[in-house]
Amino acid sequence: MAQKVRRTGEAVFTKEKLLTFARYANRRDLLLALLEDNKTYTLRQADAAIANFMKKE
């Protein structure tokens, strides 16, 4: 499958694809809960979702 790119030039990924990244190996359970199915996210958006959740705790 071809990688999608937003107009900003950032690559976008599905939740399922992000869960396969080694970068998120220790945060998979968090991403499962925070990200929506059938939506795409940039790495920056995924990182921001994690950071925002961690600030609330």
Whole-number pLDDT of residue 8: 75
Containing structural domain, residue 20: 4-56
How many domains does the chain divide into? 1
Answer for the pair 31, 15: CB distance below 8 angstroms, yes or no.
yes
Compute the average pLDDT of residues 28-53. 96
Tell me what percent of the residues of the chain surpass a pLDDT of 70. Answer: 91
Letter string b/e over residues 28-45, b meaning 16 or more CB atoms within 10 A of that residue's CB: eeebeeebeeeebbbeeb
Whole-number pLDDT of residue 57: 61
Residue of 1 and 51 predicted with greater confidence:
51
Whether the pLDDT of residue 43 is over 60: the answer is yes
Q: Per the structure block, which two tokens stand in for 26?
A: 């220790």
Residue of 4 and 9 predicted with greater confidence:
9
Q: In what order do the strands lie in the sheet with 11-14?
A: 4-5, 11-14, 40-41
Answer for the pair 30, 46: CB distance below 8 angstroms, yes or no.
no
